[in-house]
Chain A
């Protein structure tokens, strides 16, 4: 599958997932929590559209979307994001146990939203950091 086709498949899958999330959220009724989710979905969609447009421009100009350097950077960013997320979630799990003892509870949907949001944010932060900092070699 060439880069253009792969990008459109990713855009399609993302659009379907966002639409499902939107439908589930709207089905639950509008409240403060669903407004946060809706704004997040909107923000993700806007960023995705901007990234897709940039990628299309790159492909049209004859540049690949990924090469050995960007691949090495994304592997390193993913690796770091995994370990940092793991320690943050471990800390959060302990905090939730303490909070639960004090009568503060969270719904599964809220927890899932926070966890996925945090994971994605940490990965984006590391990707931007390594893209700016660079990497000495492809190893």
Chain B
């Protein structure tokens, strides 16, 4: 799984710390999600998508 979190963060000028504070998680969690090394719960995925003004299916890209 790949994500567009980094790209959208840059668009809205948000750091990983900013995004982590907005969605209420630790900064490492954002880092691991961004690298595709952690699959967030549906609630967290929704919160991140909302913070980045997009939808879950546009944020998380599956290779299949």
Residues in A lying within 8 Å of B, measured CB to CB: 58, 61-64, 66-70, 134-138
Contact = CB atoms under 8 A, between A and B. Distances in A.
Query: How big is the B interface, by class?
Result: 10 to 19
A136 B38 contact: yes
A138 B26 contact: no
A58 B26 CA distance: 9
Contact of A137 (B26, B27, B39): B39
A69 B25 CA distance: 9
A137 B38 contact: yes
A53 to B, nearest CB: 17
A136 B40 CA distance: 8
Contact of A69 (B21, B24, B32): B32
A70 B37 contact: no
Contact of B41 (A63, A68, A135, A136): A68
A62 to B, nearest CB: 5
B44 interface: yes
Interface in B8-43: 17, 20-21, 24-29, 32, 37-41
Secondary structure of the A contact surface, majority rule: loop
Contacts of B28: 69-70
B39 A70 contact: no
A62 B21 contact: yes
B49 to A, nearest CB: 16
B21 A68 contact: no
List the 6 closest pairs (A to B, CB-CB), nearest first. A137-B39, A67-B25, A69-B29, A138-B41, A62-B21, A67-B26
Contacts of B37: 134, 136
Contacts of B21: 62-63
A39 to B, nearest CB: 32
A67 to B, nearest CB: 4
